[in-house]
Amino acid sequence: MTANPNTGNIVPHAPYNRAQQTNGPMKRSLLTMALMATAFCGISQILPLTAAPDGGNKKASVSEQIGIVKIGINYSRPGVKGREGRIYNTPIAHYGFVDQGHGTSYSTPWRAGANENTTFSFSQPVKIEGKDLPAGTYGFFIALGESESTLIFSTVSTSWGSFYYDPSFDALRVTVKNKTLDKSVEWLKYEFTDQTDSSAVVAMSWEKRMIPFRIDADVKKLQMASFRREFMTTRNYEDFIQAAQYCLDNNMELEQALAWMDRAISFRIMGRANYRTLSTKAAILTRMGRVEEARKIMDEALPMGTMIEIHFYGRQLLSMKQTADALKVFKLNYDKHPKEYTTTLGMARAYSATGDFKKALGFAKTALPLVPDPGSKTRVEGMIKLLEEGKDIN
């Protein structure tokens, strides 16, 4: 019995238990060790050992971009390893569909690589040999043949080899011609060849065989769809200039470009009426044949332009054979920035375009001591020689 120090009441002792006293710490130690073992097992599952791929195969990836379409290929590279002539139509790279004696599939194509699935990823829809394939990541297989092969894109991309291949998950099948190579390719590889602005050829090469196929993307349609999607939130006027310029460069959807520039100029809070926004709108109107509207907008824009911006607008007018307007622009720039190399040479170009070579020669000679670098000096000297011969420098 003991007295409670707070109340003074008698409190009985807890029953004495030798086993509890001697085994309690041991039990706690055993519990701690068990928990630690469980934790280490969990860590070993989350953090596997770093090791080279199985079977001496090499892991690889290759990517390409067609317009805004990002294409990625991830695969493992088996080697020929002295087996020339014994690769194709053997268990290494079998023809057609066979039972490989493993997994859930009894009719499997070739895995088109080694180890895990070879995968293709497409950030946007594409066409494979003219057939549509939606955006996504696909397991890639090949049903090999002697002269032609069938390419298979499967929506299942996380399997090991083709042992679990299921045709019900096929997204696309296309048949292509095989090609024979003069030299043997030791390590299987995928590469992009024959690139254009809207297409590329992917070629799988191994030993003395190549299997190429073409990928096409509707680059302009996808780009415009991307612009429209991205403009469904707050954007600054520079973004609208970029999209409108894309339309101008490709001479497409000019009405849409005009609407974007109206938003860039006038949209509440984010809109800006400056040289770049106004001149871009004027360029669209000019392309649409609405020249008088374009001139009025440029009259508003020119006082806001820098010396270089106005100079290049004058050059643009010269290229469009709008000589009288170009002369006005170059003179405005010269009056605003006299004794500058750029504006003085601009006057030489303007008068040369009108056929007044004498005035052009005077401005060219005035520009010569103002040149900023040796390369420019050589060009101006060449212009002076042409003008002395009575020839246009533009």
Question: 264-311: per-residue pLDDT in tens?
Answer: 999 988 899 999 999 999 999 999 999 999 999 999 999 999 999 999
pLDDT in tens, 56-88: 788 999 999 999 999 999 999 999 999 999 999
Percentage of the chain exceeding pLDDT 70: 86
Rounded CA-CA distance 323/350 in Å is: 7
Looking at residue 261, its pLDDT comes to 97
Which of 166, 190, 217 delimits the end of a domain?
A: 217
Helix (H, G, I), strand (E, B) or coil at 364: helix
Domain end, chosen from 165, 200, 217, is at: 217
What DSSP element (H or E) covers 207? strand 199-216
Confidence of residue 29 (pLDDT cuts 50, 70, 90): low
CA dist 127 to 85, 108, 286, Å? 33, 25, 36
Q: How confident is the model at residue 28 (pLDDT cuts 50, 70, 90)?
A: low
Q: Are the CB atoms for 161 and 101 separated by under 8 Å?
A: no
Task: Identify whether 42 is part of a domain.
Answer: no
Provide the mean pLDDT of the chain.
90
| Tokens 């520039």 sit on residue | 261
* Rounded Cα distance, 136 and 123, in Å: 6
d(CA 341, CA 337): 9
The two three-digit tokens of residue 68, written as one number: 């805004």
Give the rounded distance of the alpha carbon of 282 from its chain centre. Answer: 30
Residue 174 sits in the same domain as residue 268? no
Pick from 138, 143, 177, 137: which is nearest to 154 by CA?
A: 138
In this structure, the answer to whether residues 94 and 208 fall within a common structural domain is yes
Backbone angles phi and psi of 206, in degrees to 5: -160, 140
C-alpha dihedral, 66 to 71 to 76 to 77, nearest 10°? -10
Task: Please indicate, yes or no, if residue 45 is contained in any of the structural domains.
Answer: no
Question: Which of residues 236 and 45 earns the better pLDDT score?
Answer: 236
- Asked which of 51-60, 103-112, 382-391 is least confident by mean pLDDT, the reply is 51-60
Tell me how far apart the alpha carbons of residues 279 and 34 are, in angstroms, rounded to a whole number. 74
Instruction: Check residue 94 and give its pLDDT.
Output: 97
pLDDT for res 36: 55
Residues 249 and 102 in one domain: no
Would residue 253 count as lying in a domain?
A: yes
- Position 60 scores a pLDDT of 96
* Together in a domain, 187 and 67: yes
Residues 188 and 315 both lie in one domain: no
Q: How far is Cα 114 from Cα 163, in angstroms, rounded to an integer?
A: 12
**Average pLDDT of the residues in 172-201:** 97
Q: Is the same domain home to 167 and 237?
A: no
Asked if residue 40 belongs to a domain, the reply is: no
pLDDT value of residue 22: 46
143 and 274 share a domain?
Answer: no
Give the list of residues 6+ apart from residue 162 with CB closer than 8 angstroms, or none. 100, 105, 108, 109, 110, 111, 141
Statement: residue 186 has pLDDT above 50:
yes
| Whether 247 and 327 share a structural domain | yes
Distances (CA, A) of 16 to 13, 236, 256, 319: 8, 79, 90, 106
Domain, as residue range, for 147: 56-217
Burial of 356-374, coded b for 16+ CB within 10 Å and e otherwise, reads ebeebbbbbbebbebbeee
Structure tokens at 177: 């011609």
Beta partners for residue 88, in sequence order: 93
Q: Give yes or no: residues 210 and 257 share one domain.
A: no
Q: Lowest-confidence range among 49-58, 146-155, 179-188, 275-284?
A: 49-58
Same domain? 200 vs 268:
no
Burial class from Cβ neighbours inside 10 Å (0-12, 13-18, 19+) for residue 1 reads exposed
193 within some domain: yes
Helix or strand or coil: residue 373?
coil
Q: Tell me the residue type at 341.
A: Y
The CATH number of whichever domain residue 234 belongs to comes to 1.25.40.10
C-alpha 124 chain-centroid distance: 11
Domain boundary among 180, 198, 217: 217
Please check whether residues 253 and 341 belong to one and the same domain. yes
Is the per-residue pLDDT at 177 higher than 70? yes
Q: Are both 85 and 208 inside the same structural domain?
A: yes
Contact status, residue 365 vs residue 384, Cβ threshold 8 Å:
yes
Number of domains in the chain: 2
- The answer for 251, left when phi > 0, alpha when psi is -120 to 50, beta otherwise, is left
* pLDDT score of 6 more than 50: no
The string of pLDDT tens digits covering residues 190-243 is: 999 999 999 999 999 999 999 999 999 999 999 999 999 999 998 999 999 999
